[in-house]
Copies of this chain bind each other. A is one copy, B any other.
């Protein structure tokens, strides 16, 4: 079989604490330095040590949008990885393992995977003097087998171990080199997938969804973040905490999620761009305060990183199961904006838009992500993150100078045609600022009786809701017009849908996709014609009931012809979509 170049998936797998993630990240860096495109994602368990984790790298010479399900090389750090992941190895692929580990070899070979036994610990011990370097050895061997030049591995080792001193660097280098040599010698010939550096090797950023969101928030001038740890949202808070000093952002871990959103609302009302991030369980606790932000018209950005529910559910798995919850959470009716980016680039831009929209419309903005999107990484050109050129639009926030010139008494909730009331930061002598969770008059005083006042204030909020939609975008279209099949999805499924569309079109089965980032208020005018034009409409969602499909039908009346749903905690992939498409019966 001819060698296949620059198109493979490598998975490192082992127990938590065995260095699966750091090893994987190091190898990914080595590949990236060779100009290759990467997609990486990890799966881990809700425990700190032991169990079963993996880090998976897909490598290619063209941009990648999603992972694929088949694995070409599985580098196994523990025996359990074999029973769990052996079946993921494609025919002809290989399992590499330390010969010190005991495996059920038969099970593997039965699946037509090759078995690459390597003396990793032995080399680490003998050459490096420390068996801790077995991982390094494995990565060296990996490079050897796929014939990826050693210099890139060496470069990363130098970079990563630099602060541990020269001895450590040299030790690891030697171990990696020996691993490289042995791996190549023994198995390079029998292994069909190869990776070689490209001629062009531009710098690209290796970034996941949470990081991209946080970078977007910082770029947008976020000045305040409060949160409470919850997988998979915690790393937003942690990244912001790490960056806080540099960008003068107040970052606060609070006693719970109720306090987290309320701190942010307090800061937002005071004039600081403010956000919080959580997952579904924490969002559940934020629901009452969400309505407060709606009623008091406070700009605040809430990141809702979904994971499979209900309740505690599957903390380290993925799902898109909270959409309808986010749309309707909290008592009563009030303007809110719900956005669901699908890629790292969109995470960045959605974060900056979220702050602008929140301040312009003076309402809560919910950014929905999920475990997969928040943790998966892609290599992306830095130009996609134009941090220094983001537009900052604070809407009708009155400047001190405007306030100085104020002629009439300041009305926090002035009734206006747009529904937007010019906003003063509290603290200016001309504008005493009263905000209120009770129904109120234009000033902000309690007025929870009068029918006419109610109609005015509810009408004002309603107008905002209807006007917001003009600032929102219709779906992204990818693929040929007038396709036979149109995949329709939202949020993190973008990559899998896009790759599925490419595959289908390559097979001649004309397909395209509609991907929604801007979900609520539903961009009806922009979306409906596209939805109606779809010949076979397929809803693709990471949940059990087809929540977005529900929304689309409620608004447009159109029912998808098929549904491709996934709710086993695993991310959608192009393979999954195509397989289900083929199986799918017409949705009853």
Interface residues in chain A, defined as those with a beta carbon under 8 Å from any beta carbon in chain B: 45-46, 51-52, 279-281, 283-285, 287-288, 290-292, 294-296, 306, 308-317, 319, 321-322, 324-325, 327-334, 437-439, 448-449, 451-452, 454-455, 458, 462, 543-545, 550-551, 553-554, 557, 559, 567-570
Contact = CB atoms under 8 A, between A and B. Distances in A.
A295 B308 contact: no
B295 A311 contact: yes
A51 B447 CA distance: 12
A462 to B, nearest CB: 6
A325 B314 contact: no
Contacts of A439: 308, 312-314, 569
Given A308-B332, A544-B458, A449 B553 contact: no
Nearest to A310: B332
- For this chain, the copies found in one complex come to 2
Contacts of A551: 554
- Which among A306, A309, A310 has the greatest number of chain B C-beta atoms within 10 A? A310
B331 A284 contact: yes
Q: Report the 4 A-B pairs with minimum CB-CB distance, sorted nearest first.
A: A309-B332, A280-B331, A310-B332, A554-B554
Contact of A543 (B312, B333, B569): B333
A310 B322 contact: no
14 contacts: A52-B449, A291-B309, A291-B310, A295-B310, A309-B331, A313-B331, A313-B437, A321-B332, A322-B331, A333-B567, A439-B569, A455-B568, A553-B554, A557-B559
Contact of A437 (B52, B311, B319): B311
Nearest to A307: B331
Nearest to A43: B449
A252 to B, nearest CB: 21
Nearest to A336: B310
Nearest to A465: B545
Given A291-B311, A295-B310, A295-B313, A329 B333 contact: no
Contacts of A437: 311-313
A332 B280 contact: yes
A283 B287 CA distance: 9
Nearest to A306: B331
Nearest to A324: B328
Contact of A310 (B325, B331, B544): B331
A311 B332 contact: yes
